[in-house]
Amino acid sequence: MNALTGSVFGPVSLDDKYVSSDGRVYLSGIQALVRVALDRGRLDRAAGLNTGGFISGYRGSPLAGFDSEVERAGRLLKDYDVVFQPGVNEELGATAVWGSQKVTMHGQGSTKDGVFGIWYGKAPGVDRAGDALRQASASGTDPKGGVLALAGDDHLAKSSIIPAQSEFFFQHAEIPLLNPADIQDVLDYGLHGLEMSRYCGLWSGMICLADTMDASGVVSVNDDRLRFIHPAILEGHDLGDRHKPLLLKYRLEIERVMRDARVPAAQAYVRANGLDGIRFGAEYPRIGLVATGKAYRDLRQALQLLGIDEARAKAMGLAIYKVAMPWPLEPVGLAKFARGIDRLLVVEHKRAFIEPQIKDLFYNWPADRRPPVWGKKTPDGDPFLPDVLELSAADLVVGLLAFLPQSHVTDEMRDVAASMARQAQWAAENAEGAVRSPYFCSGCPHSTSTKAPEGARVMPGIGCHAMTEINERTTEGQIAMGGEGVPWVGQAPFAKDKHVFVNLGDGTYFHSGILAIRQAVAAKVSATYKILFNDAVAMTGGQTHDGPLDVPTITRQLAAEGVGRIVVVSERPELYEGRGDLAAGVPVHDRAELMGVQEDLAAYPGVSAIIYDQTCAAEKRRRRKKGLYEDPDKRLFINDRVCEGCGDCSVQSNCLSVEPVATDFGEKRRINQSSCNKDFSCVKGFCPSFVWVEGAELKKSDGGSVDLDALVAKLPEVQPAGLDETVNLLIAGIGGMGVTTVAAVLAMAAHVDGINASTLDMTGLAQKGGPVTSHVRFSGRDRPVEGPRVPTATLDVLLASDMVVSCGSEVLTLMNPGKARVFANGRVAPTAEFVMKQTLSFDEARMMATLKKASRDVTARDVAGIAEKLLGDAIYTNMMLVGMAWQSGTLPLSFAAIDTAIRLNGAAVKQNLRAFQAGRVLAHDAEAILAGLPKEDVPEEMDLETRIAFLGGELERYQDRAYADRFTQLMERVVAADTARGIGAMRLSRTIAENLYKVMAIKDEYEVARLYAEPAFEEKLRNTFADPKKLKVVLAPPLFSRLDPATGRARKTAYGPWIFKAFELLAGLKRLRGTFLDPFARTFERKAEFALREEYVGDVELILKRIESGNYGLLVELARVPDQIRGYGPVKDDTMAKAAEKRALLLKRLDGKGPMARGEGSQAAYLEAAE
């Protein structure tokens, strides 16, 4: 990529991170791993070695996208003959890397002097590859090769089933283990790890945590920063056997060589190269601290919070001994450090690992020379530092205050601990109850494929479909990858159940899941495997399968394995017409027939399989952008006036793109066309509000009449924030909305400006719409950033892209109430709760109040809405928030640096620059932008009198003036009685007005026709689509719709453009409504609605009689009963039955006959039970 000017160091290029050999570069932890391979190749070439490299691991177990980054750097890696070949699973990838070390000694030898290897895997992958890793290391490494094994640990199980700590495995396998504290360590330890592997003949392991892998920062890449010393071989420690085949005749000898030569050689390498040592504080300390990896940076951060800098530490006689290799611990350097220490504290995350080794080292020391050791326990054996979850800076502050001699503990230090504790407590008490949980993408195949017959038992598997636990489609707990359904083998002989369904992703099937099927066949159990073929390893980034895998191949494999019945279910069954490559006798069904297929297979006594063929929704979107997947020129649109807000479309589709929308007639539904992936399952909702739109190109925003350049020209100059102290910023948002990209842009801008910056992305299941936070920390060039995480109670700037995430306890804990400035997007996207329960529990006003209490000030706008109108996409929300923050003087970055960083990023450069500038204007003069944008169609706030008049006018349009008068006259009586009662809020009148209108404005055929024939419908369509060419309305007319055997409901049919002429005609016949000439009045549904209307009028009369009885709250609840009646046809039947039950209970209560007549429980509990 072309370099851009603007840096204090000269031109900056994105390729710098890989090609620069002097100075400093900005990169992420993952990119540092890629650079390890490049640097190893460069060093070898410089030394005259003709080496190659081999990288392997399982794509579905990526180290924060290491495999994707390797592929992106493929051109550069190829120059050094580095080959990337993913493994089908973790153990096979490890075995392939093992093979790379033997290429020079087997067969006809190699074209290379040696091959270095890199294996990667998450902690579960380390566990399952254990035997291969252990044997591979034991068999030795090529002296001109070497291997680095990368273990991705997940201390808080953000993207794992259980928390992970891999150190103990490497100890068990006798593989030397390095633990980097920051990105500089990742790069340096990676190179040392390969060199140490060459020297000692063992693989080298390296712990990879989110705090190093998902972080970014500036590192030194000077060629002369490192030296690689091979110490002399100690007498009796022959390393000549470090590279030999693992023959049976050597198996006992290898154990001796490992213990007596190779492991001591690793310790000697660390000692000779000075990898361990004092990195902070006094040269001859009396107070000793020992830490490794992330714990080292966390400890430095905690000391900084307590005001203990280098000078103060030296005055106190305090020092930190940083351990690079926690196993096998290098004893000579540590012993030298510990002599003369009065007390020693070992800081490490999770279970004690270094601490037992230190105590073992000290055990035989004389008592007067053996310092007492604190760690997970005190010297007296009492618990001290936590060994679960992970240590936070706040934990370490408290621990340090207890460990340090009290003569060194000041009131200021105690105040720091107290303020952190107060903020954490306040955050826990004030956090928003609603959560932004990850969920299936819009249009995800699993939204449909994981449905099972009522009462069926479903066992889970590894993959996106594991999120069925969230909506309780599976409740049996998770399973180790490749063991899907096998617990049933141990249960079936003793269980009352006779059959189970088993979810199995195609990636897992290819990895090892086919073995689980083989086991089920061998055990002759009754089980149906649902193989969810998504055409990608969807859970971890949409990687392709590393080998041939398609639906026909799977059918033939299953048949060969002995699976008795095999069925293909597809969203596009027509693709299988005429094909002859499926296994013999395999039928193909449309996905709409899934339930019937499952019911049929559930009765089969052996192992059966359904292959559910539907491409991952996220992959469809990616491929459509590249023109690699068909993109139908049609969309679905909801006529919100016809919609009843029943939520059946959400129930049928399980789709996040079906969102609530506030209207003058209550909450309805709309389709978020930006996030919709065109699955179209929502159309199965039993409702006449769905319209097919052909010629469905979305209308592009023209930015209204906003002259952004002119507004920017009027902005005042900005003085960037100073860096007397570290500036802490946090971006809190939703996965897929550019949070991490914006964080990277800010850090690159800091690099361009020549200041230090670090980022840390906390993503978890961000790719599934989960919460994302990016920590960004800035400090002066000569002052390092101590740890990438923002410590408790120190946040200076919050970019609240999503208020639900921002008001979670994790974010609120970081807030500095007297200092933090918040720039918030006031629009809150629906959560998964809305899909599952058709309700939203968050309170926007409450969240805004919480942010105000937690900060110095809050600047909030509907930034997402402004981004859509001005720039055409809410994706620019975060960059607009950056502009707001920068214009407010809260960021320590120059304008030129931000501009350069956006251009370097290369993604939608023009629009991102405009978003940044728009944010600046929003901060200075929001009205200047808002005045030029199209006005939002929001419900009008009405007082009671206006509202009654409005609803009366609607009823006149619905039928006639006389019908409307019936409404207004009854409401006049209600308002008069309510006013005379003197309650004040007129709650009863408002409730009756809304519900009386609801039961009178029956959405029968005439009304639905009118609502389609009105100009407002076409206006909304044209505000959404650029040129809608052809419309079809999806209806199930009760008089001539056939029953759909798959659903038990009337079959819905799409009616073409002619239907709008019919609507005009039918709307004009509304005067027939309810007369003997009305053909629709004879249907069961219409009779029930007429009866409901009259019943409610009777209830209002009863309320008027009882209004003086003192049961005002109960009367309001009775008046509200019709509000829970929603939908059409069978949906409405269900809600009417529930409403009738609630009404009956309320009437009993009014008569003193209900279950609470004598104070038995609260009214709230009673009404909840009725619901």
1056 and 1077 belong to one structural domain: no
**pLDDT of 740 above 50:** yes
Residue 327 belongs to what domain range? 276-422
- Mean pLDDT, the chain, integer: 91
The answer to whether residue 1022 is domain-embedded is yes
997 close to 622: Cβ distance less than 8 angstroms: no
- Two tokens, residue 816: 């500095």
659 and 603 belong to one structural domain: no
Q: What is the pLDDT of residue 171?
A: 98
**Mean pLDDT score, 444-461:** 90
Kind of pairing, strands 771-779 and 727-734? antiparallel
**Mean pLDDT score, 68-76:** 94
Burial (CB count <10 Å: 0-12, 13-18, 19+), residue 456: middle
Kind of pairing, strands 204-208 and 147-152? parallel
Q: Give phi and psi for 213, each to the nearest 5.
A: -80, -40
Q: What is the pLDDT of residue 871?
A: 92
Contacts 24+ apart (CB under 8 A), 969-972: 970/996, 970/1097, 970/1100, 971/996
The answer to whether residue 439 is domain-embedded is no
Name the domain boundary from 564, 590, 607.
607
pLDDT digits (tens, 9 = 90+) for 674-722: 889 999 999 999 999 999 999 888 888 777 789 999 999 999 999 999 9
831 and 732 belong to one structural domain: yes
d(CA 198, CA 204): 9
Q: How confident is the model at residue 10 (pLDDT cuts 50, 70, 90)?
A: low
Q: What is the pLDDT of residue 346?
A: 98
- Two tokens, residue 83: 């080959």
What torsion do the CA atoms of 822, 826, 831, 835 make, to the nearest 10 degrees?
A: 180
Could you give the percent of the chain with pLDDT greater than 70?
A: 95
Q: How confident is the model at residue 236 (pLDDT cuts 50, 70, 90)?
A: low
243-257, 286-300, 422-436, 949-963: range with lowest mean pLDDT: 243-257
Contacts 24+ apart (CB under 8 A), 706-709: 706/870, 706/929, 706/932, 706/933, 707/932, 708/870, 708/914, 708/917, 708/918, 708/921, 708/929
Q: How confident is the model at residue 1102 (pLDDT cuts 50, 70, 90)?
A: very high
3-state secondary structure of 519: helix
Residues 6+ apart with CB under 8 A from 944: 975, 986, 989, 990, 993
Inter-CA distances, 527 with 488, 492, 504, 608, Å = 8, 10, 12, 6
Q: What is the pLDDT of residue 1158?
A: 39
CATH number of the domain where residue 456 is located: 3.40.50
Amino acid type, 736: G
Q: Which residue has the higher pLDDT, 268 or 10?
A: 268
Q: What is the pLDDT of residue 1041?
A: 85
The answer to whether residue 1105 is domain-embedded is yes
Q: What is the pLDDT of residue 841?
A: 77
476 and 376 belong to one structural domain: no
Q: Which residue has the higher pLDDT, 935 or 666?
A: 666
339 and 487 belong to one structural domain: no
Inter-CA distances, 331 with 49, 192, 292, 596, Å = 34, 19, 15, 67
**pLDDT of 1118 above 70:** yes
How many domains does the structure of the chain reveal?
A: 6
pLDDT digits (tens, 9 = 90+) for 109-143: 899 999 999 999 999 999 999 999 999 999 999 99
889-903, 995-1009, 1031-1045: range with lowest mean pLDDT: 1031-1045
**Mean pLDDT score, 1035-1052:** 88
Name the domain boundary from 574, 607, 640.
607
**Mean pLDDT score, 799-827:** 95
Q: What is the DSSP string of 266-315?
A: HHHHHHHTT-SEEEEE-SS-SEEEEEETHHHHHHHHHHHHTT--HHHHHH
Q: How confident is the model at residue 296 (pLDDT cuts 50, 70, 90)?
A: very high
Q: What is the pLDDT of residue 343?
A: 97
Angle at 736 between CA 734 and CA 741, to 5 degrees: 95
pLDDT digits (tens, 9 = 90+) for 400-442: 999 999 999 999 999 999 999 999 999 999 999 888 877 888 8
993 and 1009 belong to one structural domain: no
499 and 515 belong to one structural domain: yes
Q: What is the DSSP string of 163-217?
A: ----HHHHHHHT--EE--SSHHHHHHHHHHHHHHHHHHSS-EEEEE-HHHHSEEE
Contacts 24+ apart (CB under 8 A), 476-483: 478/161, 480/124, 480/128, 481/124, 481/128, 481/508, 481/511, 481/512, 481/513, 482/89, 482/128, 482/508, 482/511, 482/512, 482/513, 482/515, 482/516, 483/516
Residues 6+ apart with CB under 8 A from 358: 290, 329, 334, 338, 344, 346, 373
Q: How confident is the model at residue 736 (pLDDT cuts 50, 70, 90)?
A: confident
The answer to whether residue 951 is domain-embedded is no
88 and 234 belong to one structural domain: yes
The answer to whether residue 747 is domain-embedded is yes
3-state secondary structure of 1025: strand
- Two tokens, residue 918: 């728009």
**pLDDT of 829 above 70:** yes
**Mean pLDDT score, 10-18:** 79
DSSP 1082: G
Amino acid type, 797: V
**pLDDT of 351 above 70:** yes
d(CA 1171, CA 1168): 5
d(CA 30, CA 34): 7
267 and 299 belong to one structural domain: no
Chain Cα centroid distance, residue 113: 44
Chain Cα centroid distance, residue 466: 14
Give me the residue label for tokens 């249960």.
491
* Count of positions (residues) in the chain: 1171
**Mean pLDDT score, 865-874:** 92
DSSP 1079: G
Give me the residue label for tokens 């966390």.
298
The answer to whether the bond into 264 is cis (omega within 30° of 0) is no
CATH number of the domain where residue 797 is located: 3.40.920.10
CATH number of the domain where residue 68 is located: 3.40.50.970
DSSP 649: H
What torsion do the CA atoms of 207, 208, 210, 212 make, to the nearest 10 degrees?
A: 100
Name the domain boundary from 877, 900, 930.
930
902 close to 737: Cβ distance less than 8 angstroms: no
**pLDDT of 148 above 60:** yes
How many CA within 13 A on the CB side of residue 960?
A: 7
**Mean pLDDT score, 717-742:** 93
The answer to whether residue 4 is domain-embedded is no
The answer to whether residue 428 is domain-embedded is no
299 close to 347: Cβ distance less than 8 angstroms: yes
131 and 156 belong to one structural domain: yes
Amino acid type, 1074: G
527's enclosing H/E stretch is strand 527-533
1151 and 1133 belong to one structural domain: yes
The answer to whether residue 1150 is domain-embedded is yes
**pLDDT of 239 above 70:** no
229 and 325 belong to one structural domain: no
d(CA 814, CA 820): 9
Q: Packing angle between helix 331-338 and helix 354-362, nearest 10 degrees?
A: 70
d(CA 558, CA 586): 11
Q: What is the pLDDT of residue 86?
A: 94
**Mean pLDDT score, 537-564:** 84
**pLDDT of 1164 above 60:** no
